Amino acid sequence: MVKLGRSGLGLAVVTAALAFGAGGAFAQQKELIFGLQCDRTGPTANVGVNLCPGYHDYIDLVNSKGGVEGFKIKVIEVDNEYKVPPAMEAHERFKKEGAVIEGVFGTPQTAALNKKLEEDKLLGTSPGFGTAAAADGKRFPYTFPIAASYWSQAGAALEFAKERLGGSFKGKKIAYIFYDNPAGKEPLPILEDVSKAEGF
Protein backbone atom coordinates (compact mmCIF):
# COMPACT_ATOMS: atom_id res chain seq x y z
CA MET A 1 0.00 0.00 0.00
CA VAL A 2 1.26 3.48 -0.86
CA LYS A 3 1.76 5.75 2.13
CA LEU A 4 2.34 9.46 1.80
CA GLY A 5 2.43 11.25 5.11
CA ARG A 6 -0.97 12.32 6.37
CA SER A 7 -2.30 13.43 2.99
CA GLY A 8 -4.99 11.67 1.02
CA LEU A 9 -2.87 11.69 -2.12
CA GLY A 10 -1.40 8.24 -1.49
CA LEU A 11 -4.86 6.81 -0.91
CA ALA A 12 -6.14 8.39 -4.12
CA VAL A 13 -3.28 6.93 -6.11
CA VAL A 14 -3.70 3.49 -4.55
CA THR A 15 -7.42 3.59 -5.26
CA ALA A 16 -6.83 4.65 -8.84
CA ALA A 17 -3.98 2.28 -9.52
CA LEU A 18 -4.95 -0.87 -7.70
CA ALA A 19 -8.67 -0.94 -7.03
CA PHE A 20 -9.61 0.05 -10.55
CA GLY A 21 -6.90 -1.81 -12.42
CA ALA A 22 -5.00 1.13 -13.88
CA GLY A 23 -1.68 -0.21 -12.65
CA GLY A 24 -0.54 -1.42 -16.05
CA ALA A 25 -1.22 1.92 -17.69
CA PHE A 26 1.52 3.75 -15.81
CA ALA A 27 3.75 0.92 -14.61
CA GLN A 28 5.93 1.09 -17.72
CA GLN A 29 6.42 4.85 -17.74
CA LYS A 30 6.92 5.36 -13.95
CA GLU A 31 4.68 8.40 -14.16
CA LEU A 32 1.20 9.09 -12.85
CA ILE A 33 -0.98 11.45 -14.83
CA PHE A 34 -3.35 13.64 -12.82
CA GLY A 35 -5.97 15.72 -14.63
CA LEU A 36 -6.79 19.00 -12.95
CA GLN A 37 -9.69 21.24 -13.86
CA CYS A 38 -9.35 24.82 -12.68
CA ASP A 39 -11.19 28.07 -13.04
CA ARG A 40 -8.43 30.61 -13.49
CA THR A 41 -10.95 32.60 -15.53
CA GLY A 42 -14.71 32.94 -15.25
CA PRO A 43 -17.10 33.89 -12.42
CA THR A 44 -15.35 31.86 -9.70
CA ALA A 45 -11.76 32.60 -10.74
CA ASN A 46 -11.10 34.10 -7.30
CA VAL A 47 -10.98 30.49 -6.07
CA GLY A 48 -9.02 28.92 -8.91
CA VAL A 49 -6.22 31.49 -8.99
CA ASN A 50 -5.37 30.39 -5.44
CA LEU A 51 -6.41 26.75 -5.34
CA CYS A 52 -4.78 25.63 -8.58
CA PRO A 53 -1.27 26.99 -7.90
CA GLY A 54 -1.50 25.38 -4.47
CA TYR A 55 -2.31 22.03 -6.09
CA HIS A 56 0.76 22.32 -8.32
CA ASP A 57 2.93 23.37 -5.37
CA TYR A 58 1.88 20.29 -3.44
CA ILE A 59 2.57 17.97 -6.37
CA ASP A 60 6.00 19.62 -6.80
CA LEU A 61 6.69 18.91 -3.13
CA VAL A 62 5.66 15.26 -3.50
CA ASN A 63 7.80 14.90 -6.63
CA SER A 64 10.79 16.56 -4.91
CA LYS A 65 10.64 13.78 -2.31
CA GLY A 66 10.69 11.03 -4.93
CA GLY A 67 7.03 10.98 -5.91
CA VAL A 68 4.81 8.11 -4.80
CA GLU A 69 6.87 4.94 -4.44
CA GLY A 70 9.11 6.10 -7.26
CA PHE A 71 6.32 7.29 -9.52
CA LYS A 72 6.52 10.97 -10.44
CA ILE A 73 3.25 12.84 -10.87
CA LYS A 74 2.53 14.85 -13.99
CA VAL A 75 -0.38 17.28 -13.77
CA ILE A 76 -2.32 18.29 -16.85
CA GLU A 77 -4.34 21.40 -16.05
CA VAL A 78 -7.30 22.73 -18.02
CA ASP A 79 -9.09 25.99 -17.23
CA ASN A 80 -12.78 25.10 -17.52
CA GLU A 81 -13.81 28.74 -16.93
CA TYR A 82 -16.57 27.40 -14.64
CA LYS A 83 -18.42 26.18 -17.73
CA VAL A 84 -19.71 22.69 -18.47
CA PRO A 85 -18.59 22.27 -22.13
CA PRO A 86 -14.88 22.93 -21.38
CA ALA A 87 -15.17 20.59 -18.39
CA MET A 88 -16.47 17.80 -20.61
CA GLU A 89 -13.67 18.45 -23.12
CA ALA A 90 -11.11 18.42 -20.31
CA HIS A 91 -12.40 15.03 -19.13
CA GLU A 92 -11.98 13.58 -22.60
CA ARG A 93 -8.44 14.93 -22.80
CA PHE A 94 -7.51 13.51 -19.40
CA LYS A 95 -8.92 10.12 -20.39
CA LYS A 96 -6.95 10.17 -23.65
CA GLU A 97 -3.74 11.14 -21.80
CA GLY A 98 -4.14 8.21 -19.40
CA ALA A 99 -4.98 10.11 -16.21
CA VAL A 100 -5.57 7.97 -13.14
CA ILE A 101 -7.48 10.70 -11.30
CA GLU A 102 -9.27 13.90 -12.24
CA GLY A 103 -9.70 16.95 -10.05
CA VAL A 104 -13.08 18.28 -11.13
CA PHE A 105 -13.88 21.92 -10.49
CA GLY A 106 -17.37 23.37 -10.07
CA THR A 107 -20.74 21.99 -9.06
CA PRO A 108 -22.37 22.20 -12.50
CA GLN A 109 -19.28 20.55 -13.97
CA THR A 110 -19.24 17.78 -11.36
CA ALA A 111 -22.95 17.09 -11.86
CA ALA A 112 -22.39 16.85 -15.62
CA LEU A 113 -19.40 14.53 -15.19
CA ASN A 114 -20.66 12.11 -12.51
CA LYS A 115 -21.96 9.60 -15.06
CA LYS A 116 -18.97 10.00 -17.40
CA LEU A 117 -16.53 9.35 -14.55
CA GLU A 118 -18.34 6.10 -13.80
CA GLU A 119 -18.61 5.06 -17.46
CA ASP A 120 -14.92 5.76 -18.06
CA LYS A 121 -13.82 4.37 -14.68
CA LEU A 122 -11.85 7.53 -13.98
CA LEU A 123 -11.81 8.72 -10.39
CA GLY A 124 -12.93 12.30 -9.82
CA THR A 125 -12.51 14.48 -6.75
CA SER A 126 -14.62 17.47 -5.80
CA PRO A 127 -13.27 19.59 -2.94
CA GLY A 128 -16.13 21.14 -0.98
CA PHE A 129 -18.65 21.35 -3.81
CA GLY A 130 -20.25 19.12 -6.38
CA THR A 131 -23.03 16.65 -5.72
CA ALA A 132 -23.42 16.18 -1.97
CA ALA A 133 -25.08 12.81 -2.62
CA ALA A 134 -21.66 11.60 -3.83
CA ALA A 135 -20.90 10.93 -0.16
CA ASP A 136 -22.85 7.72 -0.85
CA GLY A 137 -20.27 5.64 -2.70
CA LYS A 138 -22.90 3.24 -3.98
CA ARG A 139 -24.72 6.02 -5.77
CA PHE A 140 -21.64 7.74 -7.19
CA PRO A 141 -18.76 5.23 -7.05
CA TYR A 142 -16.27 7.36 -9.01
CA THR A 143 -16.91 10.79 -7.50
CA PHE A 144 -15.09 11.50 -4.25
CA PRO A 145 -15.97 14.59 -2.20
CA ILE A 146 -12.81 15.50 -0.30
CA ALA A 147 -14.19 18.25 1.95
CA ALA A 148 -17.49 19.24 3.54
CA SER A 149 -20.34 19.00 1.04
CA TYR A 150 -22.94 21.72 0.59
CA TRP A 151 -25.30 19.57 2.69
CA SER A 152 -22.76 19.45 5.52
CA GLN A 153 -22.09 23.16 5.18
CA ALA A 154 -25.82 23.95 5.34
CA GLY A 155 -26.17 21.78 8.44
CA ALA A 156 -23.24 23.50 10.12
CA ALA A 157 -24.65 26.95 9.31
CA LEU A 158 -28.03 25.99 10.78
CA GLU A 159 -26.41 24.58 13.90
CA PHE A 160 -24.49 27.82 14.36
CA ALA A 161 -27.63 29.93 13.85
CA LYS A 162 -29.63 27.77 16.27
CA GLU A 163 -26.98 28.18 18.94
CA ARG A 164 -26.97 31.98 18.43
CA LEU A 165 -30.77 32.08 18.63
CA GLY A 166 -30.82 30.48 22.06
CA GLY A 167 -31.20 26.85 20.99
CA SER A 168 -34.52 27.07 19.14
CA PHE A 169 -35.76 28.03 15.69
CA LYS A 170 -39.44 28.17 16.77
CA GLY A 171 -41.12 31.19 15.22
CA LYS A 172 -37.95 32.26 13.39
CA LYS A 173 -37.46 32.95 9.70
CA ILE A 174 -34.27 31.84 7.97
CA ALA A 175 -33.31 33.51 4.69
CA TYR A 176 -31.07 31.68 2.26
CA ILE A 177 -29.62 33.87 -0.47
CA PHE A 178 -27.96 31.84 -3.20
CA TYR A 179 -26.42 31.86 -6.64
CA ASP A 180 -29.12 30.47 -8.95
CA ASN A 181 -27.19 27.52 -10.30
CA PRO A 182 -26.63 23.90 -9.17
CA ALA A 183 -24.13 24.99 -6.51
CA GLY A 184 -26.54 27.48 -4.96
CA LYS A 185 -29.43 24.99 -5.06
CA GLU A 186 -27.53 22.05 -3.50
CA PRO A 187 -28.35 22.98 0.14
CA LEU A 188 -32.09 23.51 -0.49
CA PRO A 189 -33.25 19.94 0.31
CA ILE A 190 -31.42 20.03 3.66
CA LEU A 191 -32.78 23.46 4.54
CA GLU A 192 -36.31 22.35 3.66
CA ASP A 193 -36.07 19.13 5.69
CA VAL A 194 -34.61 20.85 8.72
CA SER A 195 -37.22 23.63 8.52
CA LYS A 196 -39.97 21.03 8.88
CA ALA A 197 -38.25 19.34 11.81
CA GLU A 198 -37.22 22.53 13.60
CA GLY A 199 -40.24 24.72 12.88
CA PHE A 200 -38.71 27.71 11.11
Q: What is the DSSP string of 161-181?
A: HHHHTTS--TT--------SS
Distance CA 23, CA 146 (A): 23
pLDDT in tens, 8-49: 544 454 444 444 445 445 445 689 999 999 999 999 899 899
The pLDDT-based confidence of 128 (bands split at 50, 70, 90) is: low
Question: Rounded CA gap, 101 and 142, in Å?
Answer: 10
**171 or 134, which is more confident?**
171
Contact 158, 168 (CB under 8 A): no
Question: For residue 118, what pLDDT band results from cuts at 50, 70 and 90?
Answer: very high
Share of the chain above pLDDT 70, in %: 81
Averaged over 161-183, what is the pLDDT? 87
Phi (first) and psi of residue 159, to 5 degrees: -60, -40
Whether the per-residue pLDDT at 64 is higher than 90: the answer is: yes
Q: Average pLDDT of 98-121? A: 92
Taking each helix axis as running N to C, give the angle between helix 107-120 and helix 84-97, from 0 to 180 degrees, rounded to the nearest 10: 30
Dihedral sign for Cα atoms in the order 55, 66, 74, 23: negative
pLDDT tens for residues 74-102? Answer: 999 999 999 999 999 999 999 999 999 99
Task: Categorize the per-residue pLDDT at 138 as very low, low, confident or very high, splitting at 50, 70 and 90.
Answer: confident
- Look at residue 144 in the predicted model and tell me its pLDDT: 84
105 with 37: CB under 8 angstroms?
yes
pLDDT at 149: 74
Question: What pLDDT is recorded for position 21?
Answer: 47
Q: Determine which of 6-10, 133-137, 139-143 has the lowest per-residue pLDDT on average.
A: 6-10
3-class SS of residue 121: coil
- Say if residues 78 and 91 touch (Cβ distance below 8 Å): no
Question: If pLDDT is split at 50, 70 and 90, which confidence band does 134 have?
Answer: low
CA–CA distance, 98 with 25 (Å, rounded to integer) = 7
